[in-house]
Amino acid sequence: MKQKIVFATNNLYKLKEVSQILGDKIEVLSLKDLHCDVDIPETADTLEGNALLKAQYINKNYGLDAFADDTGLEIEALNNEPGIYSARYAGEGKSDQANMLKVLRKLEGVGNRNARFRTVIALIMDCKTHLFEGVIKGTIIGEKRGEAGFGYDPIFVPEGYDKTFAELGNDIKNDISHRAKAVKELSDFLTAKLHCRI
């Protein structure tokens, strides 16, 4: 029988990506599978805190093992902004386009373009909490390039590459990204737990 675990998201892109990495030994359920349409509040002041709030909500209200993620773009010259506000940097209900334009405007004339994407996954399993982190460093360029991906992908060039995430495409991005690294850590942990239970 497959082990079931809830990924506290309704983002189908994330769900597909994570399910592929975790493989066929673990069945990943979404919030939709639980008929949970609550917009779980993300009121913490860290990525770790927001991921934990979402996992705790599912664990407490549904009694199931659960994990959740939170991701932020941290730009050195902007004191690690936008960070936890990455999805709403230009204001509530604003678009990826507006968020990118705000970043580019704030970096006008700034020489230091160093940045990093950071994903934190919080897992609650067997009444214990575990955290996993994935980081990729890079730089913010001065204009958008590329059509793939989402969020800040068109202005972020990962270290060791000369193309943005949006130009590299999903296959390469999903292999090297911050989320892929965090999910790999989660996968290794769950696989080890699964072997212990067999």
Q: Which residue has the tokens 């230009």?
A: 90
- Our answer to whether residue 188 is catalytic in this structure is no
Radius of gyration of the chain (CA): 17
Q: Which residue pairs, CB below 8 angstroms and at least 24 apart, start in 141-150?
A: 141/113, 142/104, 142/107, 143/104, 144/100, 148/173, 149/173, 150/13, 150/96
Q: Spot the catalytic one: 45, 70, 171, 175.
A: 70
Identity at 32, one-letter amino acid code: K
Q: What is the dihedral of CA 86, 117, 140, 14, to 10 degrees?
A: -70
Residues classed as catalytic = 70
